[in-house]
Amino acid sequence: MNTNQIEALIGMLAVLALFAIMVLPSLIGIAHDRRVDRQLREAQDHHREKEDQKSSSRSTVPSTATWYAEGRRSKKLVSS
């Protein structure tokens, strides 16, 4: 190898090293974002499972507002 080839090799290695240094933070950030997204998705799924368990164990008694509205409707029909 002559001097020109060695200088070209050193220059190419320097450029590749600088490229790696510039790209590495972006790759770390992308990996971090994916991990956070996965954790959020798992937490949402866990929350939905808990809600589904709660809603399936609830009784089907109507709320007070529904009971009151149905009572008023029946009184109107009777008084008509």
Total structural domains within the chain: 1
Residue 51 has which token pair? 């809600």
- pLDDT (tens digit per residue) in 26-73: 999 999 999 999 999 999 999 888 888 876 655 566 566 665 666 666
The residue segments making up the domain with residue 48 are 23-53
Sign of the dihedral through C-alpha 57, 59, 64, 66: positive
Is 80 part of any domain? no
- Give me the mean pLDDT over the 6-24 stretch: 97
Is 2 part of any domain? no
Is 12 part of any domain? no
pLDDT of residue 52: 81
pTM (predicted TM-score): 0.51
pLDDT of residue 53: 80
Residue 58 has which token pair? 């609830």
**33-67 b/e with 16+ CB inside 10 Å = b?**
eeeeeeeeeeeeeeeeeeeeeeeeeeeeeeeeeee
